[in-house]
Structure 1
Amino acid sequence: MNRIERIKSRLFQKDYYTKIEWWGENETILTSDEIRAEPLVVRKALAIEHLLRHMPAELKPDELIVGKINMLSVGYGREFPQYALPEEKENGRKNGFTEKNVAAKHPADYAKLLRIGVRGIKEEIYAAIEKESQLDKPDEEKLNLWRAMLISVDAVVDFAHRYADLLLKEAKTEKDPQRVKELLEMARICNRVPEYPAETYHEALQSFFFLFAAFHSCMEEVAVGRPDQYFYPYYKKDIESGRMTKEQAEELTASWFVKFSERVQLDKDHWEFKHFTAIDENYDGGCLDDVANVFSMENDEDYNLGTSANHWEQNVILGGVKEDGSDATNELTYIMIEQWARLELISPVMSVRFHKNSPEALYDLCATVLRRGSGEPTIYNDEQIIPGLVASGIPLEEARGYSNDGCWEVLIPGKTNYQYGHVQVLLQLEYLLTRGKSLVRNQVEAPDFGDPTQFKDFEEFYQAFLASIRHEVDRIMVLRTTYWSKRYEIAPSVLFSAFLDDCIPRGLDIANGGAKWNMYTFLLTGLSNCVDSLMAIKKFVYDDKTISMEDLIQALWNNFEGQEPLRQMLVNRAPKFGNDIAEVDELAARLMKDFEHIVNERAAQPDVKENAESGFVVNVGCGTFESYGNFGHRCGASADGRRSQETVSANYSPSVGLDVNSPTAVIKSITCPDIMPYYSGGPLDMSLDADLLIGEDGKNRLKSLIKSFVELGGVMMNVNSTSPEMLEDAQVHPEKYPGLRVHLGGLSAYFIALAPEQQKIIINRTKHAL
């Protein structure tokens, strides 16, 4: 086997099934009165320094890029040295935050690191300190943050030097002369970067990964951004000078990609959920009331079990356009897609940007990869997303440089603090029908907006529904504007802020208004099931008067028990979203436009402007991420014929099994509404029959579908192309399908590592593939 094959074999045969040991649970920097007297922001930096100097270092066989990330994840919980005092912890929790909050999921300015190195970052910090020192009364809080930044970035250099020392030690005992040469060169690189600017492709990859590993080890689960853009100048220079061959570049690229998947654990006995506590669940930066309402699981089954456990928000996005609007696709774009596909990775998540001038070869490669059943790359459409960003106030040049967050949310890399909140419209519709009560939990959870049996027509019913949505948007907006900067008081992001515009010149942490852009997205969640339910109510209760509102509500309370004919009527006789049917598509368009107006009206209110920082952008999206099972589990039976606690549709996709016409019909339905305002996220998750994608004709068929999606104005699209027979066989014989991947709304997972309930949902979706 060659190096890439050996690395892949190591992953699937050893690393994925070797229990990873945790480090940091009992570590603390609170060892003296002198340290305890330091400001919290400085203590956070000292904790970063302690971790990067002492956490385990490791060299793996054949690797050319080094750096081991400490075991921290959304799925498991957090391990980090203690730095907060008891009273600080208590105050933080009153605001819904802990000292172990995951802070950022957004890309840093990695190109800046490669360009000027840590030394250049330090020069910027010292320049800011010098400028502040000229004032009659320098701001002590700013000085403390800058000091914390200096401690943190120096710790990243120490981290790299630890690996340089490890590599030199390994070289002394290595028997293979070629490997000795590699180890010595790697040691030289680790002594140079990230302290100094990168000069070669190898140095650029390694410099990036040291900073990335430091972020992830210090509770900053950030995305990767656009690596084909910031690595390409180094690749191009090395290729043109003869310093590196394309084959060597492929080895380096594969070795770099593998680093993102080294924390994956496929043996469920190795998942240590004891590291994930109820307090740690509040990782998204919201206040406790908000998170409890949106994410809590009152029921027995956790439908995310096994889904996000192997996901660390490590999104890569390639292609697109440059700042001047020209095509940004380059040779490295293709190499990165090819090596990612060759390794059959689930992390990082792979995405590709398309536009009207994207090269034919890029369509061809993505279609080739997707038809193998990878579930990725996710397709992004520049023709919708860039104008949407510009309409929100982002300058065109910056909008053209967009990337994504930990799943698919759109932002400006290196400049953005991004957050989101779900507005569960199917649940809001349930509350309207039950006068604020949950069908599942049988308790009042929302206001009463009137007796639904007394609404004289559908329009009056619909306006009451909008009132319930308006109330929920208002509730979330008040919480977000009130608590937006509270995290800084307990969990500042001192290392990440050093690599984010405009934190250094402002002397402000990302969690305290330092970022150039502060973006908040209201996600319309459960859209298709909600639209289908509204359509059924309109048709059968108000238009045809086939069923009374009283009888419908009683059927929902009974979960259709003994009323299967009624349920079948709701399922089969009302038009469903996703079939290119004008009546239902227009209702979806109306709801989406009304939701957009409600959010925009609320964002324009004075309290938002008063409580939020400059550069505050509020927008809309449509999504569930991988939590469609969770959101469905919170809802009782619905008027579209869905039974109580069944899954809702994923993201901006038709209800499962109810898009019965064609893939083109689905695309025409989802592009009927004005979806440019939903540029922040609204992925169409499409399942295709794998048999239709076989051979050259199958590849061309998929390529044409991607082109149609872009030309018709879609925003994002995921394509799964596996067969139910294969998935069912993988349930019985998992050892035969170690690399079988499925896309789950915002991430990918190895199918054999999913909980049985998630596997059942995926199989059911695949059985209804178009």
Structure 2
Amino acid sequence: MISKGFSKPTERVERLKRMIVDAIPYVESERAVLVTESYKETEGLSPILRRAKAVEKIFNNLPITIREDELVVGAITKNPRSTEICPEFSYDWVAKEFDTMGARVADPFQIPKETAAELSEAFKYWDGKTTSALADSYMSQEAKDCMANGVFTVGNYFYGGVGHICVDYGKILRKGFKGIIAEVIEAMSKMDKKDPDYIKKQQFYNAVVISYSAAINFAHRYAQKARDMAAAELNPTRKAELLQIAANCERVPENGATNFYEACQSFWFIQIMVQIESNGHSISPGRFDQYMYPYLKEDKNISKEFAQELVDCIWIKLNDINKTRDEISAQAFAGYAVFQNLCVGGQNEEGLDATNEISYMCMDATAHVKLPAPSFSIRVWQGTPDEFLLRACEVARLGLGVPAMYNDEVIIPALVNRGVTLRDARNYCIIGCVEPQCPNKTEGWHDAAFFNVAKVLEITLNNGKVGNKQLGPITGDITTFKSIDDLYAAFKKQMEYFVYYLVEADNCVDYAHAERAPLPFLSAMVDDCIGRGKSVQEGGAIYNFTGPQAFGIADTGDSVYAIQKHVFEDKTIEMDQLKAALDANFGHTGVNTVSTSNNNADVTEMQIYEAVKRILSNSGSIDISEIQSRISSEFTSPKTTVSGDFDNIRRLLESTPCFGNDIDEVDMVARKCAQIYCFEVEKYTNPRGGQFQAGVYPVSANVLFGKDVAALPDGRLAKTPLADGVSPRAGKDCAGPTAAANSVAKLDHFVASNGTLYNQKFLPSAVAGDTGLQNFASVIRSYFDHKGMHVQFNVIDKQLLLDAQKHPENYKDLVVRVAGYSAQFTVLAKEVQDDIINRTEHSL
């Protein structure tokens, strides 16, 4: 027998899990109040010293919480699975949602009235002082227009702190925070006062010492809390646990860890402290099995069972961290996503297999806990043991959507192509959703923007217009195009225009973080910030990138191929017929209908919505009568009548061969469309001296931003979801999982070095038993042999998901893969649930 199954979690782990599952997320105010008080007290200091003093105040005063049953302690919030607010980045969206955040469709948080009052008072200080306000002041109106019309968004870092990073956990486990302070003091002793950067470096070093001294005190506060709780504890077993917790917190992370338990506690303090300093998400643990294994290997006093329980407890704690976003962003990140990616397996720096005992323990922890976090990943290469891959497949067929799987044979060369050394590339980890980077040496700015490739195609088909607004350049009326090359030429020009403004917007936000929110605590755990005497936000890391990601690739490829085949090759559709059908949404309600009328009889709700959006995006202060007047003028101009059976046109388009069925002629079109985006992105550099690199993954933005895209030539109706990541369109990959994977592998994953995302969905019966498990592993090996970068699986029955929609109270524990992360199915917005349900179900 190949299948081993999984042991049961301990009763403690079950109780801790239930605390997370049953938790009601709250917004808390303590951090916002503390950071505001600190900034009021430090008006005359430099930005980085103000940050250090703010971190000091927070670490010294944030409430200390040890939850019942915990063995590994440390929390950002008093309530489980709740969130603090960081107003120094942005705050106005929170104020607007005081009364609605608790009832919104995606990721609701409760905000008690007293919390809202405390936040309101704190927010008064921040008007015009946030990183968001500074970034906005730098941006051109053209960039803002692009965002207002659904071409791209830079919301992650525009509204929040910089995240998407993996710090040097191993260094802290070895040297402790005292080792960081000692390293900084040594660097200060070697400074040359004649160096023109001397003053700024000195400020940075002082900021690090202040931050790390406060961080040591933060851990000591937990030690005292545990001692106080032990003194009042009547249960002798729990009393002993609390005393051991106190001893651990007294030692780490101030000093290096001496055993596996201390290493676990030290790891957790690092994980939460980085997120207390800044609210950037995707603070990813990286190669957990590599830096933790030496402490397990050398610990002769710990049992295998207790070591596993500690890892299970860390998995629970990773689910305790939560973040709130504005209502629109919450839809793009639906499912309380925090993206703490933890990776095991793969190669070491010497190119040898790195699998060890903790690699397997992490799989067991995932099976025990069965919660969305961490975003658990494995690395696979030709030297990966079969036992390791089969065990990963066993975890995957539990239906949790993890582990996500990554191909060393593609990612290592892709990183080397971006200037990463071979040794560093071999040591890559995964950040956030699917983004590779060299850990603790990289400021990657992954997830820097969502870029809607399908929207750019729509704009191309409308000669640069969105509605009546000339948003992009004039590239020609498509009815005059003589060949598919004319379309590609127009598409490339539009892409050049919109990528330029994407880069501008990202760089504006980049400058704002460097000027107003350098992060000394985070920076000291990233090479070579101490050596260079500057924060990661100012270019202190060895590797600096900016990684915007695209979505809508399959929609764009299928649409371009449909035009190529039906308009230019088979000549079954005239271009003006196609254009009329698209303008009419193939005759379906919800968008503009073609009419000869000079009145508003055929104006739809969608038209009015788009008109208002256009008017507001191009106007300052404007009253309702002016809006009414402009809407009237938009819809009283003569319309052109175009006859034709739009349903027949749509049926013909939908019968076109699609990406995802291993048809070279079709797949190469999708490849070319993706390359047009990727090659344009990589032309640019960022303020930190690094290169822009493209990714192709959506989080769940393919659903949200699909609402901004009109009908497409692949037969897709307006406002419906786009394809997720590099996956084929839902239901269109009908030649089986191997054919679908072969199509995806034909995309140029080497140039999409910021990551690609491929979802597959299997029926549980398809991977059942030993034969199913072996076939499952074979599909993965085959896809990676064809140079696919990443794949992840939902192994779940469609009927079960439909029942969970109807009876969510019975499925609180149901976890599914959304995009580059997993989430509890019942907390997702219905449209995201529907998108998951509608994905093609494969059998083997």
How far off is 1:481 after superposition? 4.5
Contact 1:626 1:747 in 2 (8 A): no
Residues 32, 494 of structure 1: CA spacing in aligned structure 2 closer, same or farther, 3 A cutoff?
Answer: closer
Of residues 8, 13, 30, the one that matches 2:14 is 8
How far off is 1:303 after superposition? 8.3
**Structure 1, residues 263-290: CA drift from partner, whole Å, max 9, x if none?**
46xxxxxx9x7xx559xxxxxxxxxxxx
How far off is 1:523 after superposition? 2.9
- Paired residue type of 1:95: Y
Residues 141, 670 of structure 1: CA spacing in aligned structure 2 closer, same or farther, 3 A cutoff?
Answer: same
- Paired residue type of 2:813: G
Contact 1:223 1:405 in 2 (8 A): yes
SS in 2 for 1:352: strand
Of residues 196, 208, 214, the one that matches 2:255 is 196
Counterparts of 1:372 and 1:314 in 2: how far apart (Å)?
20
**TM-score, normalization by structure 2:** 0.81
**1:294 matched to which residue of 2?**
none
Which region of structure 1 is more displaced relative to structure 2, 617-626 or 411-420?
617-626
How is 1:660-739 mapped onto 2 (pairs within 5 angstroms)? 660-739=734-813
**1:236 matched to which residue of 2?**
297
- Paired residue type of 2:285: V
Of residues 62, 77, 86, the one that matches 1:79 is 86
How far off is 1:305 after superposition? 3.4
Residues 503, 72 of structure 1: CA spacing in aligned structure 2 closer, same or farther, 3 A cutoff?
Answer: farther
Of residues 355, 362, 365, the one that matches 1:336 is 362
Counterparts of 2:78 and 2:694 in 1: how far apart (Å)?
33
Counterparts of 1:141 and 1:450 in 2: how far apart (Å)?
52
Counterparts of 1:769 and 1:683 in 2: how far apart (Å)?
21
Residues 75, 617 of structure 1: CA spacing in aligned structure 2 closer, same or farther, 3 A cutoff?
Answer: farther
Q: Please say if 1:368 is aligned against 2:394.
A: yes
**Structure 1, residues 696-750: CA drift from partner, whole Å, max 9, x if none?**
2222221221222222211000111111110111112223222211111121110
Contact 1:168 1:184 in 2 (8 A): yes
How far off is 1:546 after superposition? 1.3
**1:68 matched to which residue of 2?**
75
Contact 1:29 1:46 in 2 (8 A): no
Residues 6, 306 of structure 1: CA spacing in aligned structure 2 closer, same or farther, 3 A cutoff?
Answer: farther
Residues 74, 581 of structure 1: CA spacing in aligned structure 2 closer, same or farther, 3 A cutoff?
Answer: farther
**1:575 matched to which residue of 2?**
657
Residues 147, 16 of structure 1: CA spacing in aligned structure 2 closer, same or farther, 3 A cutoff?
Answer: farther
Which region of structure 1 is more displaced relative to structure 2, 381-390 or 442-451?
442-451
Counterparts of 1:560 and 1:75 in 2: how far apart (Å)?
45
Unpaired segments of 5 or more residues in structure 2?
Answer: 1-6, 89-121, 140-154, 589-645
Q: Please say if 1:106 is aligned against 2:165.
A: yes
Q: Please say if 1:23 is aligned against 2:26.
A: no
Of residues 286, 310, 332, the one that matches 1:225 is 286
Residues 71, 728 of structure 1: CA spacing in aligned structure 2 closer, same or farther, 3 A cutoff?
Answer: farther
How is 1:257-336 mapped onto 2 (pairs within 5 angstroms)? 257-263=315-321, 276=325, 302=328, 304-305=330-331, 307-308=333-334, 310-336=336-362
Which region of structure 1 is more displaced relative to structure 2, 343-352 or 25-34?
25-34
Residues 450, 145 of structure 1: CA spacing in aligned structure 2 closer, same or farther, 3 A cutoff?
Answer: same
Contact 1:378 1:717 in 2 (8 A): yes
How far off is 1:458 after superposition? 1.1
Counterparts of 2:508 and 2:319 in 1: how far apart (Å)?
37
RMSD between aligned residues = 2.7
SS in 2 for 1:545: coil
Counterparts of 2:315 and 2:455 in 1: how far apart (Å)?
40
Contact 2:678 2:695 in 1 (8 A): no
Counterparts of 2:158 and 2:729 in 1: how far apart (Å)?
40
**2:181 matched to which residue of 1?**
122
Residues 646, 769 of structure 1: CA spacing in aligned structure 2 closer, same or farther, 3 A cutoff?
Answer: farther
How is 1:433-582 mapped onto 2 (pairs within 5 angstroms)? 433-438=461-466, 443-481=469-507, 484-561=510-587, 563-572=646-655, 574-582=656-664
Counterparts of 2:170 and 2:825 in 1: how far apart (Å)?
35
Counterparts of 2:681 and 2:516 in 1: how far apart (Å)?
30
- Number of residues paired by the alignment? 724
Residues 687, 644 of structure 1: CA spacing in aligned structure 2 closer, same or farther, 3 A cutoff?
Answer: same
**1:206 matched to which residue of 2?**
265
Counterparts of 2:81 and 2:664 in 1: how far apart (Å)?
41
How far off is 1:379 after superposition? 0.5
Counterparts of 2:349 and 2:524 in 1: how far apart (Å)?
24
Q: Please say if 1:57 is aligned against 2:115.
A: no
- Paired residue type of 1:669: S
Counterparts of 2:725 and 2:38 in 1: how far apart (Å)?
48
Identity, % of aligned positions: 31
SS in 1 for 2:693: strand
Counterparts of 1:74 and 1:757 in 2: how far apart (Å)?
24
**2:53 matched to which residue of 1?**
46
SS in 2 for 1:683: coil
Counterparts of 1:708 and 1:2 in 2: how far apart (Å)?
33
Counterparts of 2:190 and 2:767 in 1: how far apart (Å)?
62
Counterparts of 1:486 and 1:303 in 2: how far apart (Å)?
20
**TM-score, normalization by structure 1:** 0.89
**Structure 1, residues 102-141: CA drift from partner, whole Å, max 9, x if none?**
1122111111111111111011111222222543766222
Of residues 237, 247, 262, the one that matches 2:305 is 247
Q: Please say if 1:140 is aligned against 2:140.
A: no
Q: Please say if 1:95 is aligned against 2:138.
A: yes
Residues 514, 487 of structure 1: CA spacing in aligned structure 2 closer, same or farther, 3 A cutoff?
Answer: same
Which region of structure 1 is more displaced relative to structure 2, 555-564 or 746-755?
555-564
Residues 674, 320 of structure 1: CA spacing in aligned structure 2 closer, same or farther, 3 A cutoff?
Answer: same
How is 1:513-662 mapped onto 2 (pairs within 5 angstroms)? 513-561=539-587, 563-572=646-655, 574-600=656-682, 602-603=683-684, 608=685, 612-614=687-689, 616-662=690-736
How far off is 1:174 after superposition? 1.8
**Structure 1, residues 406-459: CA drift from partner, whole Å, max 9, x if none?**
2111111111111233432211110011122235xx543322211111111111
Counterparts of 2:510 and 2:187 in 1: how far apart (Å)?
25
- Paired residue type of 1:550: D
SS in 2 for 1:156: helix
- Paired residue type of 1:230: Y
Counterparts of 1:461 and 1:73 in 2: how far apart (Å)?
53
Counterparts of 2:196 and 2:493 in 1: how far apart (Å)?
50
How far off is 1:510 after superposition? 0.8
Residues 86, 657 of structure 1: CA spacing in aligned structure 2 closer, same or farther, 3 A cutoff?
Answer: closer
Unpaired segments of 5 or more residues in structure 1?
Answer: 265-270, 279-301
Contact 1:321 1:400 in 2 (8 A): yes
Contact 1:556 1:637 in 2 (8 A): yes
- Paired residue type of 2:473: P
